[in-house]
Amino acid sequence: MTPKTTDNDLAAFRAGANLRSRFETLTVWKNKNQRAPHKPLLALWAIGRCLRGEDRLAGYRAVDEDLRKLLKEFGPPRKSLHPELPFWHLQSDGVWEIPDRDRIPLGKGGGVPRKFLMEQDIAGGFPYPIYQAFRNSPVLAIETAHVLVAAHFPDTRRGEVLAAVGLDPEIGPDGLAAAAGGSRTRDPRFRENVLAAYHHRCAVCSFAIRLPDKVLALDAAHIRWHGANGPDEVGNGMALCVMHHKLFDTGAFTVVPDDLTVIVARSVSGSGSKRWLGRFDRRPLRVRPERDLPEATHLKWHTSEVFRDPDIAA
Ligand SMILES: [Zn+2]
């Protein structure tokens, strides 16, 4: 027998949907171009705390230490990281509270004084109703986390981001794929079209292992991520083996537009780095399509927003 839906269930459902959409619309992509995963990472970090049953408010010193690591690992390549900015500005999205906000001496032009936040260990966290909603419904908390990750990171990094904030990547409520990525839908032909354009080979290493009727471990990678308004067009795609897809989305290498040359980040090292990356450095892509070459604007986006060494590709 199906349990009867009560008014309470409906109210809870509506409240949950409202809450998710508030996080979905975090104003973070500046003109859909520069990556700014600061707010989503702070929200994810705080969701992890909720699910572990930790206090609603966290002192800024803890936020600073953890968010700095997250930004370094998952943020765009930037010389300075600013964990104090999301800590302050997430308030304007209505999902963050700093009870002592009036004590904070903002600089001219509204600058947030990190030194003061550190010295005073100013506390911040989700407003009480949000914290309580997540505590009451771990499913809602997990769904919200998945929505945030899908909107701001490529699929290849989903598990790493979730794990870094203490969430189990294997646990996700069903039906999330539809909600992921906000209102934009994905073109199901993207994968097929990209793989065909590259003759079912990895653009970097020409890897092409197949079973009689199936290509194995070959992805249609987005150059400009879906969440950054990257279109589902062959010009925004490359066929990459799973290893090169992951390395590309992590920023270990990029491709420069002029002659479609692979550039490997200087900081790459370790066993296998020569085999998987070093030998392709400063060499043209091995496989390229006859038409619909990777577009310069998308490659430039990848170089400045994802690649770890943007200056050497300039
Ligand atoms: Zn490859």
pLDDT for 4 equals: 58
Q: Domain residues for 122?
A: 7-179
- The CA 285 to ligand 1 mean position distance, Å, reads 10
- The CA 73 to ligand 1 mean position distance, Å, reads 23
Q: If you average pLDDT over residues 13-33, what whole number do you get? A: 73
158 and 256, same domain (yes or no): no
- The CA 269 to ligand 1 mean position distance, Å, reads 17
Residue 2 lies inside a defined structural domain of this protein:
no
- Specify the pTM: 0.76
The last residue of a domain, from among 125, 152, 179: 179
54 and 159, same domain (yes or no): yes
Residue 61 lies inside a defined structural domain of this protein:
yes
Compute the distance between CA of residue 209 and CA of residue 292 in angstroms, rounded to an integer.
24
109 and 217, same domain (yes or no): no
Q: Is the Cα dihedral 214, 154, 242, 163 positive or negative? A: negative
Angle separating helix axes 60-74 and 38-51, nearest 10 degrees: 120
Compute the distance between CA of residue 78 and CA of residue 93 in angstroms, rounded to an integer.
24
- The CA 77 to ligand 1 mean position distance, Å, reads 23
Q: If you average pLDDT over residues 252-262, what whole number do you get? A: 96
- The CA 212 to ligand 1 mean position distance, Å, reads 20
Count of the separate structural domains present in the chain: 2
With residue 238 as reference, give the H or E element that holds it: strand 237-241
Split at pLDDT 50, 70, 90, the class of 302 is: very high
pLDDT for 172 equals: 64
- The CA 149 to ligand 1 mean position distance, Å, reads 25
163 and 201, same domain (yes or no): no
- The CA 18 to ligand 1 mean position distance, Å, reads 42
26 and 150, same domain (yes or no): yes
Split at pLDDT 50, 70, 90, the class of 185 is: low
171 and 239, same domain (yes or no): no
Residue 104 lies inside a defined structural domain of this protein:
yes
- The CA 37 to ligand 1 mean position distance, Å, reads 28
- The CA 301 to ligand 1 mean position distance, Å, reads 21
154 and 250, same domain (yes or no): no
